[in-house]
Structure 1
Amino acid sequence: MKNFLLILICVLLGVCGQFLLKHGMNSGERVDEMDEIIPRLMRAATNPFVIAGFAGYGLSAALWLIVLTRADLSYAYPMLAMGYILVVGLSRVILQEAVTPARFMGTIVIAAGVWLISRT
């Protein structure tokens, strides 16, 4: 149970990081041309939401190192797929993104796989 809890914290930090990055990047203009990439990334590097998003990922990675010392990789790594499930659900609720039937069914399949792995 301790391993599952640590993995869940890693997943939650990663999901939070992803939403912070999305929010930070949505606060600027869309990048459509190759010559816009470097200037846009330079501006993004100073955005507090982008910085916080990377911090969430960094903390998740640090905790993941602890998970790797305690759990089988064949158990722990597939459990990260919980992040996909949370991102799809929260994107629908928070970002008002459309979740097509195919995307929803794919998420159900992922959830079933995570459930099966968690039973071992």
Structure 2
Amino acid sequence: MRVLDFLWVLSGVLLNAFAQLLLKAGANSVGEISMSAGAPALWRTAIGLAQHPGILGGLACYVVSVVVWIVALSRVDVSIAYPMLSIGYVVNAALAWWLFGENVNAQRWLGIGVIVIGVLLVANSGSRS
């Protein structure tokens, strides 16, 4: 894979990962959402979330990531690009641990390591000419 092509793919992956982290920050602002709280409470929660900078930022990252991803797919086989989304697991696990204090234990890191090895194998498997 050419460096520029990889950068398109990586940009799409990172935008997607950051979108998840921003959405998590927004979700954390309201706590656990109970579907049994009743329509008025759910409506207030939805309005609050719709105005939260984390939710808005996450949605913006998703929109931009779709555009970037389309460019990446025009340059790279989907069978190579799509597995690279797994890089987002590494980014999200590390940043969730750092930003949100989430417990990322050794078993999770081992699983993420297996994913990374798989992504490297796919990335080095070749591409269209």
Letter in 2 for 1:59: V
Matching residue of 2:65: 60
User: Of residues 9, 12, 15 in structure 2, which corresponds to 1:10?
Assistant: 12
Runs of 4+ deviating beyond 6 Å:
none
* Greater displacement, 21-30 / 64-73: 21-30
**Larger relative contact order (C-alpha < 8 A, sep ≥ 6)?**
2
2:30 counterpart SS class: coil
TM-score by length of 2: 0.84
Identity fraction in percent: 34
- Post-superposition Cα deviations, 1:21-53, rounded to whole Å, max 9, x if no partner, equal 111121123212333544422321111221111
Matching residue of 1:70: 75
Where structure 1 has 5 or more consecutive residues not aligned to the other structure, the ranges are: none
TM-score by length of 1: 0.90
Q: Does 1:40 align with 2:18?
A: no
Matching residue of 2:93: 88
Higher Cα radius of gyration: 2
Aligned residues: 120
Where structure 2 has 5 or more consecutive residues not aligned to the other structure, the ranges are: none
Matching residue of 1:106: 111
In structure 1, C-alpha distance between the alignment counterparts of 2:98 and 2:28, rounded to whole Å = 17
RMSD, matched Cα: 1.5
